[in-house]
Amino acid sequence: MRRRGPLNVRIGEVARLAGCSRATVYRHVADKDELVREVLARLARARAAAMAPDLDRIADPAERIAEGVLRTVDAVRSEWWYAALARRGATAAVARIGGGPRAFVTLTAPLVAPFVEDLAAGGRLRPGVTVEDATEWLCVVTTGLLAAAADGPDPRPRAEQVTFLRRFVADPLLRRP
């Protein structure tokens, strides 16, 4: 995937490099798209683990959400696999990797779900907001910001971006104190 990009993976080459048969690879994944999704989900979980300590230091949940979204967008944009997809139109490429927006929610959920679960455990989610819905909402927002970032970085200063995300993304999820 690093050499050719996520869309140019060949199961035969994966099997050869792994020292197994194609049939063995297919025992673990249904097709090439599932293999790519699994690799990208693993990378997302690693990214989430790397970001967690910094985000844990932010006491205000709304600010943590806003910073988490912005840092996720920044991190994903710097990933080798995203750059490879962006050359082919990242949104269309992700859709091609099976499931469209749903596939991207699956890929970004590992970055978001642990934090949302912590909010729920602490009673911070608004009544009626489920962990699944909040996770999907934050993943959809992140995906939208990634698509917008294809046109270049947001011209607003970071502090204004955080304020915007607090108001329109985080506040609707959180219980009022």
pTM: 0.78
Q: Distance between CA 9 and CA 18 in Å, rounded?
A: 13
Segment 98-123 shows an average pLDDT of 76
pLDDT of residue 39: 84
In this prediction, residues 77-90 reach a mean pLDDT of 73
- 75 pLDDT higher than 70: yes
Task: Give the pLDDT score at 83.
Answer: 75
pLDDT at position 141: 87
The region that residue 89 occupies, defined by phi over 0 for left and psi between -120 and 50 for alpha, beta otherwise, is left
Identify the burial level of 82 via C-beta atoms within 10 angstroms of its C-beta, where 0-12 means exposed, 13-18 middle and 19 or more buried: buried
Give CA–CA dist 30/53, Å, rounded. Answer: 35
The mean pLDDT value for 113-117 works out to 85
The C-alpha atoms of residue 109 and residue 11 are separated, in whole angstroms, by 26
pLDDT at 107 over 80: no
Q: What average pLDDT does range 85-112 have in this prediction?
A: 63
Q: What is the pLDDT of residues 39-59, one digit of tens each?
A: 887 888 888 888 889 988 999
Domains and CATH numbers, the chain: 32-173 (1.10.357)
What CA–CA distance (Å, rounded) separates 98 from 6?
A: 12
**Do the beta carbons of residue 169 and residue 65 sit within 8 Å?**
yes
Separation of CA 23 from chain center: 30
Output the average pLDDT for the chain: 83
pLDDT at 89 over 70: no
